[in-house]
C-alpha cells in the first residue's frame, strides 16, 4: 500500500523518532546519501506560492541525486483551466515517484492521496496542517535542546489559521511532560477541532494568555507565527490584528537564558531583526534543518530507508 | 385523532420531540405521493414527548439520516399490515452526501465530483468534515 504523509499524526512517535535520527545522520554525513535517489523524480505541485518549503523540498531531492519537476503557483498549472486536484494528481503521479503538494484548500492533499499512484506529502493545506514543517520543528528542538519532553511550549500569534501550530501541537502532545501556553488575540484563538483532538483528547495541560510578556519567563520554547494576510477575507481585520505581537530584545529580558525562539518563516515584523543576533534565536537554523528532514522523509516514503514503527 | 394503519411501509418511532419535520425534509418525504403522517409531541413514557413518522410506501429510507437526526429513533418495517422487522438506530460512523461543509476554505467547496463526507468524532456526539475536520 502506498504510504502518504497528510497529517503528522499519520506517523507514530517511533516513526518520527526514526525520521529525526535519519535526518540527523544525513545532516552529519550528507555525502553518504548524495546518490540515494538517483534517477527518481519528485513533483512539487504548489497551488499556492511558497519559497522555503518548495525550495527545501527541491534541495532535498537534488541533494539525494534525484530530479525535480512541477509548478510554483496555480496560475501556471491546469488548475487555472478548472482542472480538479484529483485529475491533476492522477496524471502527475504517472510522471513522478513522489509528490509534494501545497494547496490553499484544506483537505486537498487527502483528495490527492486518494487519486495518486505514488506517495503524496502534504506541504501545507490552507490553515489545516503542515507536517513537514513539524518534522523540521521537532528536529530543531531535538538538536538544539537535546530532548523532546518536559518542555513548556509557548505558541504565539495566529493560532487559528496557523497550520504549523496545529501540526506541531498534535506531534508534541505525544511526548511526555509537555505543557502549552497559547498566546493569541481572541480572534485568532486555536480552532475547536485542534483543541478537541490535540489537547482535550490527550489531557495535556495548557493555559491561554493574551499577553506574551506575562508568560515569557515560563517558556522553554517560544514558537512565533505570522498573522497571514492570505487567510483573511476581510483586509480590515488583518490590519487590526497583524501587529498583535512583536518580539523585541526588551521583551526577551524576562525569558530563560536557554529558551529557544522558533518561527516557521517567512517573518514579516513579528520578530524584530534585532533579535536575530540573540543566541536563543534559531529560526534560520530551523529552516536549514528542513532540508534534512525532507531528505529523510523522501528516503522513507520511497522505501530507500526503513523506518521502524 | 385517527390515522389509518400502514399496510406496506415504515413507522419511525421514538423520534426526539420537534425533530420530525427536519427528518421529513432530510428524507425527502415531501416528494412522495403516498400517505405520510407526521405526528408531533406524542406523550411517551420513555422520552416524555416524542414524534412519529408513518410512511405508507416501500421507499428507500436512509437510516444514516435518521440515526443522525435522532439516534434513539426506531424503524419498524410493515408488510401486509404487520411489523416484520424493528431496527434500533445509533449515530452512524459516517455521513455521506447528507451534510455540507460550511468552511469556505475546505476542498469540498471547489473540487468537482467530491462527495461531502462527515465522520463521527471521538466524543461520539459531533460530526466533522472528513477533509478539513471542521465541525458540522
- For strand B127-129 and strand B94-96, is the pairing parallel, antiparallel, or unpaired? unpaired
Residue A276 is assigned to a structural domain of this protein: yes
Report residue A233's pLDDT band, with 50, 70 and 90 as the boundaries: low
Q: What is the mean pLDDT of residues A47-53?
A: 90
Whether A117 and A146 map to the same domain: the answer is no
CB-CB under 8 Å, B114 with A106: no
Residue A175 is assigned to a structural domain of this protein: yes
Residue A1 is assigned to a structural domain of this protein: no
Residue A309 is assigned to a structural domain of this protein: no
Q: Which of A102, A163, A226, A291 is catalytic?
A: A102
Residue A97 is assigned to a structural domain of this protein: yes
Whether A60 and A188 map to the same domain: the answer is no
Whether A191 and A278 map to the same domain: the answer is yes
Instruction: Kindly report the nearest CA distance between residue B90 and chain A, in angstroms.
Output: 22
Q: Which domains does chain B have, with CATH numbers?
A: 9-88 (3.30.70.140), 94-129 (no CATH)
Instruction: Kindly report the nearest CA distance between residue B69 and chain A, in angstroms.
Output: 22
The one-character DSSP state at B5 is P
Q: Which residues of B touch A125 (CB under 8 A)?
A: 107
Whether A122 and A170 map to the same domain: the answer is no
**Does the structure show a pLDDT above 90 at A258?**
yes
The one-character DSSP state at A292 is H
Of A125, A192, A201, Cβ closest to residue B135 = A192
Whether A254 and A295 map to the same domain: the answer is no
Asked if residue A23 lies in contact with residue A289, where contact means CB atoms within 8 angstroms, the answer is yes
- For strand A206-209 and strand B74-79, is the pairing parallel, antiparallel, or unpaired? unpaired
Q: Which residues of A touch B116 (CB under 8 A)?
A: none
Please give the pLDDT value at position A192: 84
Q: Which residues of A touch B114 (CB under 8 A)?
A: 84, 86, 111
Residue A307 is assigned to a structural domain of this protein: no
Q: What is the mean pLDDT of residues A29-34?
A: 97
CB-CB under 8 Å, A192 with B133: no
The one-character DSSP state at B18 is T
Report residue A82's pLDDT band, with 50, 70 and 90 as the boundaries: confident
B107 or A75, higher pLDDT: B107
Q: What is the mean pLDDT of residues A95-104?
A: 97
Could you list the residue range(s) of the whole structural domain that residue A52 is in? 8-128+290-301
CATH of the domain at A225: 3.40.50.1370
CB-CB under 8 Å, A193 with B105: no
Please give the pLDDT value at position A1: 84
Please give the pLDDT value at position A285: 97
Residue A306 is assigned to a structural domain of this protein: no
Q: In total, how many domains does chain A have?
A: 2
Q: How far is CA A56 from CA A48, A61, A62, A243, A291, in A?
A: 15, 9, 10, 28, 5
Per-residue pLDDT of A212-228, as tens digits, reads 999 999 999 999 998 87
Task: Tell me if residue A273 is catalytic.
Answer: no
Whether A122 and A146 map to the same domain: the answer is no
Whether A142 and A224 map to the same domain: the answer is yes
Whether A144 and A119 map to the same domain: the answer is no
Residue A224 is assigned to a structural domain of this protein: yes
Of A85, A231, A233, Cβ closest to residue B107 = A85
Whether A274 and A142 map to the same domain: the answer is yes
Whether A17 and A122 map to the same domain: the answer is yes
Whether A114 and A145 map to the same domain: the answer is no
CB-CB under 8 Å, A193 with B134: yes
Helix or strand (DSSP H, E) at B87 = strand B82-88
Task: Tell me if residue A229 is catalytic.
Answer: no
Alpha helices in chain B (DSSP H): 20-26, 63-69
Per-residue pLDDT of A117-142, as tens digits, reads 999 999 999 989 999 999 999 999 99
Instruction: Kindly report the nearest CA distance between residue B81 and chain A, in angstroms.
Output: 47
Q: Which residues of A touch B109 (CB under 8 A)?
A: 105
ipTM (interface predicted TM): 0.86
Searching chain B, which residue's CA lies closest to the CA of residue A231?
Answer: B105
Kindly compute the dihedral angle of the four CA atoms of residues A6, A12, A14, A16, in this order, to the nearest 10 degrees: 20
Task: Tell me if residue A280 is catalytic.
Answer: no
Q: What is the mean pLDDT of residues A6-13?
A: 94
Q: Does A170 touch chain B (CB under 8 A)?
A: no
Please give the pLDDT value at position A230: 65
Q: What is the mean pLDDT of residues A144-149?
A: 94
CA distance A274 to A286: 18
Task: Tell me if residue A4 is catalytic.
Answer: no
Please give the pLDDT value at position B47: 87
Q: What is the mean pLDDT of residues B69-79?
A: 95
- Cα–Cα nearest to A280, from A200, A198, A225, A221: A221
Whether A148 and A272 map to the same domain: the answer is yes
**Does the structure show a pLDDT above 90 at A273?**
yes
Helix or strand (DSSP H, E) at A55 = helix A52-63
Q: What is the mean pLDDT of residues A235-239?
A: 75
Amino acid at each position: 500500500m502506498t504510504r502518504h504523509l497528510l497529517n503528522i499524526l499519520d506517523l507514530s512517535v517511533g516513526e518520527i523518532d526514526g525520521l529525526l535520527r535519519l535526518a540527523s545522520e544525513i545532516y552529519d554525513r550528507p555525502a553518504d546519501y548524495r546518490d540515494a535517489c538517483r534517477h527518481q523524480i519528485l513533483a512539487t505541485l504548489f497551488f499556492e506560492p511558497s519559497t522555503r518549503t518548495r525550495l527545501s523540498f527541491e534541495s532535498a531531492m537534488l541533494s539525494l541525486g534525484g530530479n525535480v519537476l512541477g509548478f510554483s503557483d496555480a496560475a501556471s498549472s491546469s488548475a487555472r483551466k478548472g482542472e480538479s486536484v484529483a485529475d491533476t494528481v492522477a496524471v502527475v503521479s504517472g510522471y513522478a515517484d513522489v509528490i509534494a503538494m501545497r494547496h490553499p484548500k484544506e483537505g486537498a492533499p487527502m483528495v490527492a492521496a486518494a487519486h495518486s499512484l505514488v506517495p503524496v506529502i502534504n506541504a501545507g493545506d490552507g490553515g489545516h496542517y503542515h507536517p513537514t514543517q513539524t518534522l523540521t520543528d521537532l528536529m530543531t528542538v531535538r538538536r538544539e535542546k537535546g530532548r523532546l519532553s518536559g518542555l513548556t511550549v509557548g505558541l504565539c500569534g495566529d493560532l487559528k489559521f496557523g497550520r504549523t501550530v496545529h501540526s506541531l501541537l498534535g506531534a508534541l502532545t505525544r511526548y511526555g511532560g509537555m505543557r502549552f501556553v497559547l498566546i493569541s488575540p481572541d480572534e485568532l484563538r486555536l480552532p475547536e477541532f485542534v483543541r478537541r483532538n490535540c489537547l482535550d483528547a490527550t489531557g495535556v495541560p495548557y493555559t491561554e494568555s493574551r499577553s506574551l510578556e506575562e508568560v515569557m519567563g515560563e517558556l522553554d520554547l517560544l514558537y512565533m507565527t505570522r498573522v497571514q494576510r492570505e487567510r483573511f477575507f476581510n483586509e480590515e481585520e488583518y490590519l487590526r490584528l497583524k501587529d498583535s505581537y512583536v518580539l523585541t530584545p526588551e521583551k526577551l529580558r524576562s525569558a530563560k537564558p536557554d529558551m529557544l525562539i522558533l518561527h516557521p518563516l517567512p517573518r514579516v515584523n513579528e520578530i524584530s531583526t534585532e533579535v536575530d543576533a540573540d543566541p536563543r534565536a534559531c529560526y534560520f537554523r530551523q529552516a536549514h534543518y528542513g532540508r534534512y528532514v525532507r531528505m529523510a522523509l523522501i528516503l522513507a516514503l520511497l522505501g530507500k530507508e526503513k523506518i521502524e514503527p | 385523532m385517527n390515522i389509518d394503519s400502514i399496510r406496506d411501509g415504515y413507522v419511525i418511532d421514538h423520534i426526539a420531540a420537534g425533530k420530525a419535520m427536519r427528518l421529513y425534509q432530510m428524507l425527502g418525504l415531501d416528494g412522495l405521493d403516498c400517505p405520510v403522517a407526521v405526528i408531533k409531541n406524542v406523550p411517551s413514557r420513555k422520552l416524555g414527548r416524542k414524534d412519529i413518522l408513518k410512511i405508507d410506501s416501500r421507499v428507500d429510507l436512509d437510516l444514516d439520516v435518521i440515526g443522525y437526526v435522532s439516534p434513539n429513533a426506531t424503524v419498524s418495517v410493515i408488510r401486509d399490515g404487520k411489523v416484520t422487522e424493528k431496527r434500533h438506530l445509533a449515530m452512524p460512523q459516517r455521513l455521506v452526501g447528507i451534510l455540507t461543509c460550511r468552511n469556505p476554505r475546505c476542498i469540498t467547496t471547489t473540487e468537482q465530483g467530491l462527495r461531502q463526507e462527515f465522520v463521527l468524532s471521538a466524543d461520539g456526539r459531533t460530526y466533522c468534515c472528513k477533509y478539513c475536520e471542521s465541525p458540522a
